[in-house]
Structure 1
Amino acid sequence: MSHVTVNAGEFTVDANLIAAAFALDQAGVQARMRAGEITSRCATGIGEDEGRFQLTFHYQTRALRLIVDASGRVLSKGMEVRGNRRRVGAEA
């Protein structure tokens, strides 16, 4: 099962994936998103990255970045902490 689903061009990300990245539980992720403490952005790939999307979730000093394809398959994920990027790995 994918952690990301795509429906009519909109992405839904499993809260457990975000929770693991930010050391929270699922309820904590949902509460912090409602409060605006966790924010998200989506960027569409162009050129050689066409068909890919970057989903970024920001919380405090950290950012979780997911690169996904049009079907929602996670191609890679990484974490940025205070401007220091660290690639977590690719998923098959």
Structure 2
Amino acid sequence: MKLKVLDGRITINADDLAPLLDLTNAEFRERMRDGRIATLSESGEGEDAGRLRVTFQDERWKVRLICARDGTVLQRLRLPVGRG
């Protein structure tokens, strides 16, 4: 899995991410469009300089990707979103 980073804009193939959120590609695209999937990107500092952390979260799952400078995913974390 690899992210594309161009001019500060991050893109990822829906085929890669949708299954991690238990969604079809169509569901993933629809939820991204209407804002039901929150995203956060952070640039590493210090010993993590050059790395990127990107988080995608819907009502059920949080998926965090740690990526190298070129967008290659180095680590993937998938957590259920707490309820209550």
Aligned counterpart, 2:64: 65
User: Equivalents in 1 of 2:30, 2:2: separation in Å?
Assistant: 19
Asked if residue 46 in structure 1 is aligned to residue 45 in structure 2, the reply is yes
Matches within 5 A, 1:23-38: 23-38=22-37
Structure 1 residue runs of 4 or more that deviate by more than 4 Å after TM superposition: none
Higher-strand-fraction structure:
1
Higher relative contact order (CA 8 A, sep 6+): 2
Mind listing any 5+ residue stretches in structure 2 that lack a counterpart? none
User: Equivalents in 1 of 2:61, 2:36: separation in Å?
Assistant: 12
Residue deviations 1:2-60, cap 9 Å, x none?
53112123211111122110111111101011111111000111111000010000011
User: Equivalents in 2 of 1:12, 1:54: separation in Å?
Assistant: 13
**CA RMSD across the alignment:** 1.3
Amino acid aligned to 2:18: A
User: Equivalents in 1 of 2:19, 2:81: separation in Å?
Assistant: 18
